[in-house]
């Protein structure tokens, strides 16, 4: 006697699943609802990631504009900043204001 192959065993399992679902139709409905909910979960996750990416792109774009504006501002070099913080005069022997 030959052993049944995997195709025959799969057919038996599929037949028994169909018989079980035929006897309990509520189980079939629950399986369909669960599959729909899993699909909805993946769809919402995909849309959320897409929305997040668009928001980040807009944020970076606005930061780029801000950086361009700040780059055009008049700035002082680090040495001048240190001298101001220490209270040293900026030019020659002139004393800083407030003394």
> Could you tell me if residue 69 is inside a domain?
yes
> Could you tell me if residue 31 is inside a domain?
yes
> Could you tell me if residue 82 is inside a domain?
yes
- Condensed to tens digits (0 to 9), the pLDDT of residues 9-28 reads 888 988 888 888 888 889 88
Query: What would the two tokens of residue 21 be?
Result: 């679902």
Q: Where does the pLDDT of residue 93 fall: very low under 50, low under 70, confident under 90, or very high at 90 and above?
A: low
> How many domains would you assign to the chain?
1
> Could you tell me if residue 54 is inside a domain?
yes
> Could you tell me if residue 66 is inside a domain?
yes
- Condensed to tens digits (0 to 9), the pLDDT of residues 24-77 reads 889 888 989 999 999 999 999 999 999 999 999 999 998 998 888 887 776 777
Is the predicted pLDDT of residue 96 greater than 80, yes or no? no
**How far apart (Å, rounded) are the C-alpha atoms in residues 12 and 19?**
11
Given this model, what pLDDT does residue 48 score?
Answer: 97
> Could you tell me if residue 98 is inside a domain?
no
Quote the domain boundaries for residue 28: 15-86
């Amino acid at each position: 006697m030959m052993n049944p192959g995997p195709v025959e065993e799969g057919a038996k399992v599929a037949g028994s699943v169909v018989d079980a679902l035929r006897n309990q139709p509520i189980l079939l409905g629950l399986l369909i609802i669960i599959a729909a909910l899993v699909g909805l979960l993946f769809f919402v996750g995909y849309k959320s990631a897409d929305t997040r990416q668009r928001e980040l792109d807009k944020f970076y774009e606005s930061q780029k504009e801000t950086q361009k504006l700040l780059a055009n501002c008049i700035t002082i070099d680090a040495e001048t900043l240190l001298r101001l913080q220490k209270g040293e005069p900026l030019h020659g022997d002139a004393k800083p204001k407030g003394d």
